[in-house]
Every structure is written in structure tokens, then in C-alpha cells.
Structure 1
Amino acid sequence: MRFYNSMQKNMSFADVVASIKYFIKANPDCHYRIAVGTDSQVKGGFTCFATGIHVHRIGQGAWCCVTKVVENKRYKNISEKISRETLMTYELVYKLNEELMEALYDFSANYKNFDCKLEAHIDIGIKGETRTLIREMVSYFEGIGIDAKIKPDSFVASSYANRYSKKFKVG
């Protein structure tokens, strides 16, 4: 899995973790929100999944990146597609939580104002056909103690990742 943003290309997961730590270390006496979300687009017989990571220094900017996976499968069933998006988000949130836990604890112990919340952004909401999936998808994250946000609060999935999921070539 390779990540990129407007300034950095071909980042490994280790590079992403190092960039997040560097971003926080630049101003550790702040409040942070790290959010992960996935969106997908179907084109022909392919589905492109884009997963975004957004690190927001509340009131003072953000650092973000995205990774894309194109599957040779056309997801026709909305439940299956949303489940796949949610699983991709879950896997990345879980890995980030594991890799960042010690560093975030150290920042918390050393900086009085430091606060960091990890969130999962799911591309579902109370309007439309995805509303029936809310309880099931949110429960994935409750089990590991991660806040799950749905539309209109799930901007990493519904806006950031959405922008990148639309940009892919078939074949």
C-alpha cells in the first residue's frame, strides 16, 4: 500500500506514521484529530477505493494523504460496497492506532494541552439507502474504542477520499 499527497509521493505506511509524528511534534501543545475514511467509485467492471488520512491540528491546519486500490470487481450491492469501504477504513485505523499509541501517550504526558482523538469516517448517513447500515458499520469501531462519524460529519470519506476515488483509469 502506497500513499501520496500534493507534496509527497510513494510513501510507505512507515513514512505516513513518521510524517504524522513529525507534524504533531512541530506543535505538540495543541488539540489534534486524526481521521480515516474510505470512498469508492465503480467504473465498468472495476471499483476504485480511496482511503484518506487527515491529521487536523485544530484551528491551525492539517496534513493528509491518500491511498488507492482498484479492484477488478464491480460492486453492485450497496451493502457489500459499504462493508468493503468500512473494512478498509477499519484496517487502517487499527494499524494507525497500534503504531501511534506510544508516541501519542508520550505527547500527552509531556504537553499539558496536547489532546488527540482518532476517528473513523464512514460514507453513510441517515438519508438514503445507507441509513440501514449505520448500526452495523459503526459497531466495527465501537469494539476497539474508536469514534465513528457518519454524514454529514464524515468529511474524510465523503469529501476528501471521494475526490480521489473518482480519479482512476480502467484497464
Structure 2
Amino acid sequence: MLQYKVFNYTFKNLKEKNMTFEQVFDHILHFIRRDPSGNFKLMIGTDSQVHKNHTTFITGIVIQNEGKGVWACLRKVRITDKITNLHQKISYETSLSEDVFSMFNQERKDAMYEIVLPHVDHGASFTIEGHIDIGGGIRNKTSMFINEMVARIESLGAEPKIKPEAFVASSYANRYTK
């Protein structure tokens, strides 16, 4: 299996470009503080697209307050290879998501939890999900990788989601791989 080094640790969205992870995390904290009694989901997922001479990977970070809005950004990685091996491509997508998950160390997770925790008795919640661009079903070519990729996301302490629930990977990130 080929190994790729990723040096691009900048993020962007429709309003801002070249955000550091610290800036992204500050946006997430600000979003949660606006309504700390909300039902929050931090979701991370990656999708890719093979082009003529390269493969583009997009990792999305989405913080959602259910029914009350989202804040999102993405990170783009371009590999100068056409990755046509499906397992290799899905595995690398998961690796890029794992890479972003690792930026949310325990101190950062605690900072998010501490905002929401005083409001749990009033219905507030906070979950972390890993969205994997794979689907179940006999006809889905990626279904044979479900157990492996789900286990990788679970090992990060996140709740794995596959299609159709994996919308950060299959919709948000997918939109920017083209």
C-alpha cells in the first residue's frame, strides 16, 4: 500500500480561507456557546474523487445544533496519483478523517463538553460522529469494508455512520471533490 504524507493543515469554508485548526476550533466553541442548551453533533467525514492525473480528498468538519443550524469547513488534500484500488481509497479517506479526529485531543473535547454539560438536565446533548463514505447492501462495492472502517472510527471514541446517515462524507465533502 502506498503511503502519502499530508502537509496541508489549512481549512476553508464559504466565508474564510486558510484557517488554522485553532481558528476552526474557536469557531466551533463560539457556535456551541451561542446556544449551550442545544443538541450538538460534531461530525467529521472524508470523500474522494479520482481525476485524470490525481485524486482529490475532502475532509469535512461540521458542528450541528439540531434544528438550529450548522457551521462547517473543509480541508482539501490532492494526491498526484490516480487511486483506483477501492480498499486503498476508502482506507485513505478514513485515515484523513482519523487525522482530523486526532486534532480534537482530550483537552479540546473537554472544552466542548464543559460548555454543554451544565445544560444536560434541560435536554442539551453533545455527540461526536465519524461519517464514512461506504454503504451496506449486497450491491454496494464498499460494503465489504464496513467492519474495518467502523472499527477504526469506534477506536477514536466516535460514533460511526455509514450511508445514508454519513452525509458529511457522502454529500458535504463530495460536493467539493469535483
Normalised-by-shorter TM-score class? over 0.9
Q: Judge conservation of contact 1:107–1:114 (CA < 8 Å) in 2.
A: no
Q: Judge conservation of contact 1:46–1:72 (CA < 8 Å) in 2.
A: yes
Question: How far does residue 94 in structure 1 lie from its aligned partner after superposition?
Answer: 2.6
Q: 2:127 aligns with which of 105, 112, 117?
A: 117
Q: Judge conservation of contact 2:44–2:130 (CA < 8 Å) in 1.
A: yes
| Corresponding position: 1:24 with 2:32 | yes
| Corresponding position: 1:152 with 2:164 | yes
Q: Distance in 1 between matches of 2:158 and 2:56?
A: 25
TM-score calculated relative to the size of structure 1? 0.92
Q: Distance in 2 between matches of 1:40 and 1:158?
A: 9
Number of aligned residue pairs: give it. 166
Match for residue 165 of structure 1? 177
| Corresponding position: 1:94 with 2:102 | yes
Q: Distance in 1 between matches of 2:39 and 2:159?
A: 16
Q: Judge conservation of contact 2:113–2:126 (CA < 8 Å) in 1.
A: no
TM-score calculated relative to the size of structure 2? 0.89
Q: Judge conservation of contact 1:34–1:119 (CA < 8 Å) in 2.
A: yes
- Cα deviation, 1:6-44, whole Å, max 9, x if unaligned, reads 111110111000000001011111110010000001111
Aligned-pair identity (%): 40
Name structure 2 gaps, 5 residues minimum: 1-8
- Cα deviation, 1:104-124, whole Å, max 9, x if unaligned, reads 231233323331100000000
Q: Distance in 2 between matches of 1:100 and 1:154?
A: 23
| Corresponding position: 1:37 with 2:45 | yes
Question: How far does residue 91 in structure 1 lie from its aligned partner after superposition?
Answer: 1.6
Instruction: Note closer, same or farther for the CA distance 1:109–1:33 as it changes in structure 2 (3 Å cut).
Output: closer
| Corresponding position: 1:83 with 2:94 | no
Task: Find the residue that maps to 1:39 and give its secondary structure.
Answer: strand
Match for residue 74 of structure 1? 82
Task: Find the residue that maps to 2:104 and give its secondary structure.
Answer: helix
Letter in 2 for 1:33: K
Name structure 1 gaps, 5 residues minimum: 167-171
Question: How far does residue 85 in structure 1 lie from its aligned partner after superposition?
Answer: 0.1
Q: Judge conservation of contact 1:17–1:99 (CA < 8 Å) in 2.
A: no
